[in-house]
Structure 1
Amino acid sequence: MRSYGGAAGGGSGGFKIYSEEELRKATNNFAADQILGRGGHGIVYRGVLEDSTIVAIKKSKMMEETETKEFAREMFILSQINHRNVVKLHGCCLEVEVPMLVYEYVSNGTLYHYIHGGKGLESNTALETRLRIAAELAEALSYMHSSASPPILHGDVKTANILLDGNLTAKVADFGASKLAPSDEAEIATLVQGTCGYLDPEYLMTCQLTDKSDVYSFGVVLLELLTGKKVICFDGPEQGKSLVSRFTTAMKTNRHDEVLDSRVRKEMGSKALEEVTHLVMRCVSMSGEERPAMKEVAERLEALRRYQQNPWGQAGAGGLEEGQSLHGREQQRDVTYKFIPQDVLDVEEGSTYTFSM
C-alpha cells in the first residue's frame, strides 16, 4: 500500500493506493457474505484491512467511457472533501481494469432503510433525532456549496445516498452524479441524472444543475423524515403520487398534519410545525430562485432544534416569540405557494432519469 501525504481523503494518513491483493484479502476474495449493497454500477463490500480497519470497498462493473469519467469524478471530488457528515474516501486500487474505491465503513446502513425498513420511523425515532439528521445533512450540503473550492453539487441527494453510523450520525455518500461548479457560474448544463421523486423539476426541464437542485432534493428527504412515508405512494387512492405532490396538496387545503406522522405532531408545537412546513415548501418550490440556500436551511434547522429543546427561551436563544420566525424576523402568514405540475412529480419510486435535451 502506498500513501500520499496531504489532505486528500480528509485523513491524517493521506490518500492511499491499495493493491488488488490487499482488497481481495480484506473481503475474503470478494465473498458474497461480505456484500453491503448493490447498485447500478457495481457492488459494495465490507472489508477488514491488515491493521483491522473496517472499510467499504466499491467494486464497479465494466464501464463505458462516460461511466469511467463519472467514477474518476467521484474519486476526485471525495478526495477534496473533509467534513464529518460526508463519507470519507480512504483511497483506491488502480491495479484492476476498473479502479476500486475504499471508503470508511458506516455501520448502520442507509437513511432509506432506517426510515422505511422494519418498524419504520413512527414507533422508534424521536423528533430530535430526525431534526438532527436533517441538520447534519443540511450542514454537509452547505459546506459543499459554500465552503468547498470549487463548489460541489451532489446531484442525487436521497435517503438511499445518506449513511448512518453507530451514533446515527448522517454521512452523505455516492458522488457519482456530482459536479464541480466553476466559481463564476451558478449553473451547469449537463446530462440529467437523478432519482424520480427526488429530482428537481426545474433541472429536469432545463438540464441546468444548480445548488438549488440539491435544495429541492433535500426538501424531499426532510419530508421523508417528517412523514415516515416513501417518496412515491404504492397503493390506495393516491397510488403513483409523489410525496411532494401529496404534501403540497395537503398544505393548500390546510391538512398537512394528515401527512405528518403521529410522533412529529405530538412532539412539535404549532409554531415550530409552521416553521418546518414553511421551510419544506420553500425547498420544493418549482422555481429554484424561490428556494433558500443550503446555508440558510442549515441555520433554520439548528434554530428549530434549539427551540424544541427550550421552547420557553428567548427568540435569540432559539425560542419563538409571537409573530416571529425562528430567526426572530417577522413571520409571513400569507405565504402563496407555487405548486408543481403533478405530471412532473408523480412517477415510479426508484426510477432514474439519464438524458439530455
Structure 2
Amino acid sequence: MMDFFSKFCCVKGSDRKNQGKKDSTWRIFSLKELQLATNNFNYDNKLGEGGFGSVYWGQLWDGSQIAVKRLKSWSNKAEVEFSVEVEILARVRHKNLLTLRGYCAEGQERLIVYDYMTNLSLLSHLHGQHSAECHLDWPRRMNIAVGAAEGIAYLHHYATPHIIHRDIKASNVLLDSDFKAQVADFGFAKFIPDGATHVTTRVKGTLGYLAPEYAMLGKASESCDVYSFGILLLELASGKKPIEKLSSTIKRPITDWALPLARERNFGELADQRLNGNYVEEELKRVIFVGLVCADNRPEKRPTMLEVVELLKGDKAKFAALEDDEMFKGSVAADSGTEDSSEIMSEDKEPKQEIEDVKP
C-alpha cells in the first residue's frame, strides 16, 4: 500500500494536457475530519449506495460541500479499486470529469472525497426522484451529451496513458449546479498501454450498457466505452431505460426499440414524451443516430469518441455520411448488428453485475 501512495503523491505536480483543464488541488483528509463533515456518516446524509459501499453528503469547516465515497469493507479487491480511482482522478483534469478533493486511508477505512454535485446524477432526472420535475429541457440534454462525450474523449485520447472507464452509465454522469455533465466513478477504469488495442479482464459494469465483445469475452477497449455511451445517448434522448421489461420473461434493449423508429425518421416517437415536443429535431436526429452507431454490436463500425464529439457538435459532412449508412436504411431485419443484442440478457448468459446503480 505504501508503494502506491508514494507513487501516487508524485502525480500531484505532474504536467498534464491542457485540453479542457480545470484548476484543482487535492489533499489527504483525516478520518476525524470526514466524520465531522458527514455527522459520523449519518444515514440522513447518505446520497446513494452501491456494490462498492455508500456515498455521503458532507460539509467542511469552511462551508464547502463534499461527497464522500466510503468503501463497504476492507479487502484486497476494495483496495485495488480505491487505489485505481484515486490515482486516475489525481492524473486527470477536465471540466467534464468529476474533481478529486482528496482521500483518506486510515486503518481499514478507505474514503474518496469529491466535489458535491448539486443536481445529483443523470439517472435521478431520467428515472429517479427528479424524473417528474422535468428539469432536463432539450438544451440541457444536448449540453450533457456533448459535455460527457468530451470528458470521455479526454480519457481515451489525451490522458497519459489512455484510460478506459468501463462503467459509463446514467448514474455515473453527475450534474453540477448548472446541469453541466461530470463523468464520475473510476473504480473499474483501466489504463491502456501504448500500442495495445484492448485489455482482457474480468467483466465489470452494468447490464444494458455492456458491449457484447466485452460481456462475452472480457475484451475491454475504448470501443466498449463508445458502446456504453451510445446506450446513454439513446436513454438521454428518449427517457427510456437501457433495457425495457416487456413481461416477466421478455426484455428489450433500447437499440431494438430505437432502430426501426430511426429508419422511419419517426423522431416524435423517439423523443422523451416529457419534452412535450420542445426539441430541435435536427439535434435529436443527431443524438439518436450517433447513439445507434455507437451501440452497433460490431466494434469496427463504432466511431471514436473524438468523432462522436464532432458529430454531436454538428459536423455536417460527417453526419451526412452517417445518415447515409446502411444501418439507417432498409428493413429492421437488415444486418445492423442489433439483432443479437438480446443474447446477453438471457438468464444463462447474463454477465454478473459487479456494481449496482447508485440510488438517486
| TM value normalised by structure 1 | 0.83
Q: How far off its partner does 1:6 sit?
A: 2.3
Q: How far off its partner does 1:122 sit?
A: 9.4
Q: 2:259 aligns with which of 248, 252, 259?
A: 248
Shift in CA distance, 298/61, structure 1 to aligned 2, threshold 3 Å: same
What RMSD, in angstroms, separates the aligned Cα atoms of the two structures?
A: 3.0
Corresponding residue for residue 321 of structure 1: none
Contact 2:227 2:295 in 1 (8 A): yes
Q: 2:111 aligns with which of 89, 100, 109?
A: 100
1:333 aligned onto 2:324: yes
Shift in CA distance, 62/28, structure 1 to aligned 2, threshold 3 Å: same
Give the Cα separation in 2 of the matches to 1:50 and 1:124: 31
Q: How far off its partner does 1:162 sit?
A: 0.9
Find the residue that maps to 1:296 and give its secondary structure.
helix
- Equivalent runs, 1:1-357 vs 2, <5 Å: 6=13, 14-118=25-129, 120=131, 123-235=134-246, 240-251=251-262, 257-262=268-273, 263=275, 267-269=279-281, 271-303=282-314, 325=316, 327=318, 333=324, 335-336=326-327, 337-346=336-345, 352-354=352-354
Unmatched segments (≥5 aa) in structure 1: 304-317, 319-324
Contact 1:232 1:346 in 2 (8 A): no
Unmatched segments (≥5 aa) in structure 2: 1-8, 328-335, 355-360
Q: How far off its partner does 1:341 sit?
A: 0.6
Aligned length: 331
Q: How far off its partner does 1:11 sit?
A: 7.6
Corresponding residue for residue 4 of structure 2: none
Give the Cα separation in 2 of the matches to 1:245 and 1:183: 36
Shift in CA distance, 119/97, structure 1 to aligned 2, threshold 3 Å: closer
- Shifted more, 89-98 versus 227-236: the winner is 227-236
Q: How far off its partner does 1:57 sit?
A: 1.0
**CA distances 1:291-338 after superposition (whole Å, capped 9, x unpaired):** 0000110111112xxxxxxxxxxxxxx7xxxxxx45476565352322
| TM value normalised by structure 2 | 0.82
Q: How far off its partner does 1:242 sit?
A: 1.8
Find the residue that maps to 1:131 and give its secondary structure.
helix
Q: How far off its partner does 1:185 sit?
A: 0.6
Q: Which amino acid aligns with 2:183?
A: V
Give the Cα separation in 2 of the matches to 1:347 and 1:260: 28
Shift in CA distance, 232/96, structure 1 to aligned 2, threshold 3 Å: same
Give the Cα separation in 2 of the matches to 1:214 and 1:291: 10
Q: Which amino acid aligns with 2:309?
A: A
**CA distances 1:199-252 after superposition (whole Å, capped 9, x unpaired):** 111111221100010000001110011101112223469952121222234446
- Shifted more, 4-13 versus 27-36: the winner is 4-13
Q: Which amino acid aligns with 2:235?
A: E
Give the Cα separation in 2 of the matches to 1:222 and 1:19: 39
Shift in CA distance, 264/75, structure 1 to aligned 2, threshold 3 Å: farther
**CA distances 1:124-175 after superposition (whole Å, capped 9, x unpaired):** 5322211110000000000000000000100000001111111001101111
Q: Which amino acid aligns with 1:353?
A: Q
Q: Which amino acid aligns with 2:120?
A: G
Q: Which has the higher contact order (CA 8 A, sep 6+)?
A: 2
